[in-house]
Structure 1
Amino acid sequence: MQFRRFRIGYRTLKTAVGASIAMLIAMFLDLDYYSSAFILTVLCIQPTKRKSLRAVYSRIISTIIGVGFAFIFFEGIAYNPIVFGLLILLFIPTLVSFRLQDGFVSSVVILLHLFDAKSLTMSLMWNEFQLMAVGFGVALLVNMYMPDIEKDLKKYRLDLESLYAKIFHEVALYLRNGDSNWDGKELVQVSEVIEKGKALAYQDVENHLNRRQNLHYLYFDMREQQFEIIERVLPKITALPVTISHSQLVADFIEDLANHVHSGNTAHRFISKLDEVKEEFSTMPLPKDHENFLAMAALYQFIEEMEQYLRIKSNFIGFTTKKKTASKD
């Protein structure tokens, strides 16, 4: 049996500390069912600030609905396990219809208190309100702290740019020599880095309550669109029937591009260079046979796709850097 490495994450630590504090506060306030503050806090500590707010909202509304059901079923019929079962039978579909099913467990905690008390008094309602205020409030306060992930996002960006550069270097090598020992592992790695980068960037968005998206997420989304083009054009290059003089021209351009993969937005410079490549294409000799014609057509399709690759980057605002750099893709 293989065991995963034992570790205590920041969310686990926050849950343990926050839930304990909530229960201590409930004890200090001398609330009935004070241990339930622990459960309510645990249920509301989420991976991001926005999710934590949504969790509190859904639990408050679902509890209000639950108290209404309790008044109808418990006070209107009886405090009986069968009646409680009938309440749950109708309560769950009601929450689902309002998309509040996440608040079911916390609502049941409160309903159990009402069922145990056998009477819906104002003092009991005040006790339950304080329990929720303590549990949910502590959860929100604890969740205001989120670790800084800027360093990890930057690492994913740099890793991705390094992989793109490697891919373009291999493409240039193949265009020059007509052969390559490249195993293509960077293509798999790019997919993994993009997926991880987008997930982390989305988490960063969720941790800023006044923001719906951020530059990091737009960056990884932009790179994902570019990667779709890379995957589409690689077969065009590897299927070239012969190496022609046009290949060297495109190889020089791709090599230059590989040396300047960056997070900044200066793709327009390479679009201009690509226009120069197209002009030079038009001045070169026409293909002498069918194979040369196919090779030239494939290369022209390739540079058209690379223009789209650069257009996608040109629409990205880019990350500002303290030092001025040479033109990047």
Structure 2
Amino acid sequence: MIGIRVIKTAIAGLAAIYTAIYLGLEPALSAGLLAILGVEVTRMRGIRNVASRMMASVLGLFFASLIFTLFGFEIWSLSIFILIAFPILTRLKLKEGIVTSSVIVFHVFERQEVTMSLIGNEIMLLITGLGWATVLNMLYMPREDHKLKELRHQIEATFSTIFKELAQTLQNPRHVWNGEELLQAGDLIKQGLDRSSTYQENRLWRYETYWRTYFDMRSQQLESIQQMLTLIAFVYEKVPQGLLLADVLLKLTEEVKSDVYEGAVERELDELEERYRLMPLPQTREEFEVRAAVLQLCHELERYLSIAKRWKKRRKGKTSVA
């Protein structure tokens, strides 16, 4: 299947070549090559790419003109150009423009002259090729909204399954779970972070951090869940406190899918800890260890919920999810 970037590259290259022919630029095919080099996957990256290539090419043209004027159009003069220009361009963080600069410099070398007419021709080739690349970069970029929403739903469903497994383990410590959903959640969050960066780079005029914030939040919550898994390993016996916490986790399996943060699980967790204080003290060392692990689980669950609350405060006027 042909991707949108390939289509944009083809259009930009073709348009640049025809424009160069119309303007009488030589060689016209170079404008197409420059356009191909300038097409990028996001608007912001495209702007940075084109700016870097343009600046690098102008600087490269300056160095080459100076070197060719001083040493003549000898093959070894190109080596001097590379030794001088490439480190400077790299130091100026214009490394992306080295190839574009080389294309322009080799044109000058091929013509065996340094004149204002030739320099003007090369500058116009740059403007034509990179200009069309910029037009296509700004004209259309695929929207990430649908995929981001899909990833959100998948993460929430995966988190729901994880909490269900945790609850079942508290209800039956012999319950076996392979932890597959934990790996899936990590992979989905990574995809979400990557796509949210692309989404942001395509929105030049409206700064929006919703998706980046959302996946950052889920990443922090996943770390909290991993800590819960470590703690639940110490719950090797069924105790009343664990059964009560399992009921709270089962409620969270639904609340985690909600579009708003209602705080119901947080309130139940507070009430549960109050009930723990009224219960009799442990009678054996084993019971003490298990109940201590359950209490630590409660504290870690509080941390998980507090992450969502902090996220909500960062998005004024909007609601959060658990």
Is TM > 0.5 for Structure 1 vs Structure 2? Answer: yes
Listed one character per residue, the Cα deviations across residues 69-111 of structure 1 (whole Å, up to 9, x for unaligned) are 1122101221111111111111111111111111000001110
Return the match for 2:9 from 15, 22, 25: 15
Aligned to 1:179: 174
Which range moves more in the overlay, 259-268 or 36-45? 259-268
2:145 is the alignment partner of 1:147 = no
Q: Give the SS at the match of 2:71.
A: coil
Unaligned runs of 5+ residues in structure 2 are none
Return the match for 1:124 from 118, 127, 152: 118
CA distance in 1, matches of 2:60, 2:321: 59
Listed one character per residue, the Cα deviations across residues 200-227 of structure 1 (whole Å, up to 9, x for unaligned) are 1110011112466621111011000000
Return the match for 1:69 from 63, 69, 75: 63
CA distance in 2, matches of 1:39, 1:318: 49
Q: Give the SS at the match of 2:230.
A: helix
The amino acid of 1:61's aligned partner reads M
Return the match for 1:290 from 249, 272, 285: 285
The amino acid of 2:18's aligned partner reads L
CA distance in 2, matches of 1:134, 1:316: 46
RMSD of equivalent CA atoms: 1.9
Q: 1:231 to 1:130 in 2, by over 3 A?
A: same
2:57 is the alignment partner of 1:87 = no
2:96 is the alignment partner of 1:102 = yes
Aligned to 2:109: 115
Structure 1 residue 27 displacement after superposition = 1.1
Aligned to 2:185: 190
CA distance in 2, matches of 1:74, 1:136: 25
2:160 is the alignment partner of 1:165 = yes
Aligned to 2:52: 58
Which range moves more in the overlay, 126-135 or 301-310? 126-135
Aligned to 1:240: 235
Which range moves more in the overlay, 135-144 or 152-161? 135-144
Unaligned runs of 5+ residues in structure 1 are 1-6
The amino acid of 1:34's aligned partner reads A
Structure 1 residue 328 displacement after superposition = 5.5
CA distance in 2, matches of 1:207, 1:263: 28
Return the match for 2:197 from 174, 199, 202: 202
Structure 1 residue 179 displacement after superposition = 2.4
Listed one character per residue, the Cα deviations across residues 31-86 of structure 1 (whole Å, up to 9, x for unaligned) are 11110011101111111111111111111111121122112210122111111111
CA distance in 2, matches of 1:79, 1:141: 36
Listed one character per residue, the Cα deviations across residues 164-200 of structure 1 (whole Å, up to 9, x for unaligned) are 0000011111111222232211111111101111111
Query: Does the CA contact (< 8 Å) of 1:46 and 1:52 recur in 2?
Result: yes
Aligned to 2:247: 252
CA distance in 2, matches of 1:40, 1:263: 49
Structure 1 residue 266 displacement after superposition = 1.3
Q: What percent identity do the matched residue pairs reach?
A: 34
Aligned to 1:317: 312
CA distance in 2, matches of 1:318, 1:257: 21
CA distance in 2, matches of 1:156, 1:282: 40
CA distance in 1, matches of 2:150, 2:226: 23
Query: Does the CA contact (< 8 Å) of 1:264 and 1:319 recur in 2?
Result: no
Query: Does the CA contact (< 8 Å) of 1:265 and 1:318 recur in 2?
Result: no
Matches within 5 A, 1:299-318: 299-317=294-312
Q: Give the SS at the match of 1:52.
A: helix
Q: 1:318 to 1:48 in 2, by over 3 A?
A: farther
Matches within 5 A, 1:208-247: 208-210=203-205, 214-247=209-242
Q: 1:328 to 1:32 in 2, by over 3 A?
A: closer
Query: Does the CA contact (< 8 Å) of 1:205 and 1:212 recur in 2?
Result: yes
CA distance in 2, matches of 1:263, 1:101: 46
